[in-house]
Structure 1
Amino acid sequence: MFVCSRDIQCIKNRFSAGYVSLQDQNKIWTLTVSPELRDKTPLVMVHGFGGGIGLWIQNIDRLSSRRTLHAFDLLGFGRSSRPTFPSDPEAAEDQFVSSIEQWREEMGIKDMILLGHSLGGFLAASYSIKYPQRVKHLILVDPWGFPTLPTDPNEMRSPPAWVKAIAAVLGRSNPLAVVRAAGPWGPRLVQRFRPDLKRKFEEFFEDDTIMEYIYHCNAQTPSGESAFKTMMERFGWAKRPMLLRFNLIPKTLPITFIYGAETWIDRNTGEKAKQLRPDSYVHTLAIKGASHHVYADQPGIFNEVVEEICDAVD
């Protein structure tokens, strides 16, 4: 499988990368940065749909300057194992959450600051419902799958053009089937659907490195992708909306929502979460000049915000 070695070469802080074997025999590709900074709660970062640890390249050094940082490829994505997920949405979600907990046990992490983006935010929230004692602060970055599907079409936020294009091409196929079908032309297809992604990382890569990385993250067996399809109602909504069970997270666990001010995700979710947790810390903020990929659109501001949250923990 393609390894985006140039991503790792860009990291300045001390790091290690390798597989963590789980009890169920699956393996999770893991990056650990600044392992020597053990006096503070580690930050664990969970990527979104179709991504991998390489997409955090603009955030890793800054966010690991004062504490250990762990980032991993979700089960079924990137370089991690690609098992068959259940066809039931609740069971598929549980398998993701179980893999995160097994990973935590194998890593020997007592507790953590848990940050998840998009699908990773959905799974981080689900993990926090089941294992709240392991999370000191939950950071949800443009989280997917929180609101219920509106019955009134006028209430739906319009998804970006690339989402509409993929939906039109694919029909009932897995979301990224067209990328795999393109074979060696896959990176060009990624570029066609998402020309914005190359611009987001141009400070690090002037060539097509990031496009090739995203392609190879999704060119393998569509394991996590199939699980995502099982869990989604439409591309923007979940069959089991997180807001309907968000109150199951203990009120003692502080939560921060970080949105891009121009995101296609419903930003009202954060405010609704506040209403569901009136006696708990729930903070919502939007970063100007950023869309769904907040961490890449405005990495400097994003890093500053997350670092401030982390410093408030310890």
Structure 2
Amino acid sequence: MSTAQGSSATATATATSVPSQSSVLASDNKLSQSTTTKTTKTTESRPKKVNEFNDGREKPHYTWGQSWKDWIKQSWSSNYDNSTIESRLLSQLPFYPESDGKRRASVVNTDIGNGQFIHEFYIENIEKDETPDICKEIVLVHGYAASLGLFIDNFDSLSSIPGTKIHAIDILGFGLSSRPKFPNLASSSKQDIYKVEDWFIDPLETWRQKRGINKFVLMGHSFGGYLSCAYALKYNKTITTPLTGLQSNLIDKLVLISPVGVERNKYSFLKKESNPRISLEQEVLADQEDIVEGKPLEEPPKTRTRQLFDYMWEKNYSPFSIIRNSGPVKSKLISRWTTHRFAHVYYHDQQSFQNMHDYIYRIFNGKGSGEYAITRVLAVGALAKLPLIDRCPKRFVDMKLPTLWIYGDKDWMNDEAGLEMTNEINDLSIDEYSKKLASFKIIKNAGHHLYLDNPPDFARVIFKFLNLK
């Protein structure tokens, strides 16, 4: 796949030194030791969640025969290379590859050095911008083991506002970006975790500079949300607009879409409270009076399956290595996810479903790279070793950075932690500026991939937060 270098950046930021992770570490240490909040506990009764994997949706059946056919085509047909399959998926949009007169789009591979590149789908709305004072340049970051194509149902709506520019990227080590060998990094200290984060966010900053992006809205889903927060903590800064001379943040607003790694937990290197969140398994098995009275609870005995899972997690095994070595079974394994996630597409348009399934096949079977970071940054149970809630509130308030924390009503991610994060940020911002900086929203009829499950409501919430509609 050829790599066309992206445009060079124009220097517009005020001269500031790049922050070191040691300075960030010192800041996190200070915050974890001294920051206090006045967060009000939410007492209203919240409806019990319906698990998105048991919500009654009818899943299509992907046959073993089809899996064999996919393996043959994907392995030997020239019509099933990465760029062809991605183009087939993106061509479902009304403005790609040909413009619809209002928007134009292109695939860009930006050289970031060391023989590596960041893959991007760029969309620009070329209609007259009636509100040039509102930032409409959006950088969209996917989640773990995902890629930019998963936002296929959002590109049309998000690019509908005149003047909008969408940069949907594959982060280094995922999707169709370069997949260098992931280094054998340790994960036993704060400094170790920062090195893992830097492996992703430093190339992201290089890409931003190469693309000449100087003020933007950063949106990240799941692990991409976690990395977006890490990027903001390290790289957000004050910039000066060349034409007006006005100062603003590099990141105008930050949108976290069901981010992982928010909540405090027992695995944290930033211990801040003595009573970590009670696990679902403990809550079911424990005496409820003990929970109410705050008595310590015993961990339930681990099953052999759980012990094996924990062992594999701690040894940094990747489930995608199993898929990559499954031969003709690959497509059948992948269909377990695609037939659930895209069941609605299958029953509406089987060819569109197949386009997405083929695309996911390529993504999941790519060379192992960034996927090996997850077990270093997160402990068993997808709990962050450096929880965002102990890193972000005061720093985001000091930056005056508006944030939106958004979840699905069937989301398996911990939305209560997102609400707590919102409250902690707002407690601090009200004290400091007499206004709220954080917003929290739940999207109905949606799970962890809420942008896929309910694109119209997702777009409405985003537009409202960005003051676009």
What TM-score, normalized to structure 1?
0.89
Distance, in Å, in 2 between the alignment partners of 1:266 and 1:156 is: 16
Residue 207 of structure 2 is aligned to residue 103 of structure 1: yes
**Conservation of the 8 A alpha-carbon contact between 2:263 and 2:383:** yes
State how 1:42-191 maps to structure 2 within 5 Å: 42-66=137-161, 67-86=164-183, 87-88=185-186, 89-132=193-236, 133-149=249-265, 151=276, 152-154=278-280, 171-172=312-313, 173-191=317-335
Aligned to 1:16: 106
User: Residues 15 and 146 from structure 1, CA distance in 2 versus in 1: closer, same or farther, beyond 3 angstroms?
Assistant: same
Aligned to 1:4, the other structure's residue is in SS state helix
Determine the C-alpha separation between the residues in 2 that align with 1:288 and 1:266: 16
* Corresponding residue to 2:446 among 260, 266, 290: 290
- State the shift of 1:200 in Å: 4.8
CA-to-aligned-CA distance 1:205-261 (integer Å, 9 cap, x gap): 544322221121121221010122222212522222211211322351000011001
Match of 1:197 among 341, 354, 359: 341
Summarize the Cα distance change of 1:22–1:36 in structure 2 as closer, same or farther, 3 Å threshold.
farther
In the other structure, the counterpart of 1:161 is none
Q: Contact 1:274/1:282 (CA < 8 Å) preserved in 2?
A: yes
AA in 2 matched with 1:102: T
Question: Deviation string for 1:128-154 (max 9, x for gaps)?
Answer: 111223211100000011113355434
Question: Are residues 1:255 and 2:403 paired?
Answer: yes
What's the secondary structure of 1:311's corresponding residue? coil
Among 302, 307, 310, the residue aligned to 2:463: 307
Deviations 1:145-196 (A, max 9, x none): 11133554347899xxxxx99x859934213222212234322101124531
Q: Which structure 2 segments of 5+ residues have no match?
A: 1-80, 96-103, 187-192, 237-248, 267-275, 285-304, 430-435
- For residues 370 and 166 of structure 2, what CA distance do their matches in structure 1 show? 23
C-alpha separation in 2, matches of 1:22 and 1:96: 12
| Structure with larger Rg | 2
Amino acid corresponding to residue 437 of structure 2 in structure 1: Y
What residue identity is the alignment partner of 2:89? D
Over the residues paired in the alignment, what is the CA RMSD in angstroms? 2.6
Whether the 8 Å CA contact 1:50–1:77 is kept in 2: the answer is yes
| Equivalent residue letter for 1:265 | M
Question: 2:407·2:443 contact (CA, 8 Å) conserved in 1?
Answer: yes
Q: Paired residue for 2:18?
A: none
SS in 2 for 1:188: helix
Partner of 2:86: 4
Relative to structure 1, is the Cα distance of residues 290 and 9 closer, same or farther in structure 2, using a 3 angstrom cutoff? Answer: same
Structure 2 SS opposite 1:136: strand
Number of residue-to-residue matches in the alignment: 307
Identity between Structure 1 and Structure 2 (%): 28
Aligned counterparts of 2:140 and 2:153: Cα–Cα separation in 1: 13
Q: Which amino acid is 1:10 matched to?
A: Q
Query: Does residue 281 of the first structure (1) align with residue 431 of the second (2)?
Result: no
Q: Which amino acid aligns with 2:198?
A: D
Alignment gaps of 5+ in structure 1: 159-163
- 1:240 maps to which of 386, 400, 409: 386
SS of 1:114 mapped into structure 2: strand
SS of the residue aligned with 1:121?
helix
**SS of residue in 2 equivalent to 1:171:** helix
Q: Find the residue that maps to 1:148 and give its secondary structure.
A: coil
Matched residues in 2 for 1:310 and 1:155: separation? 39
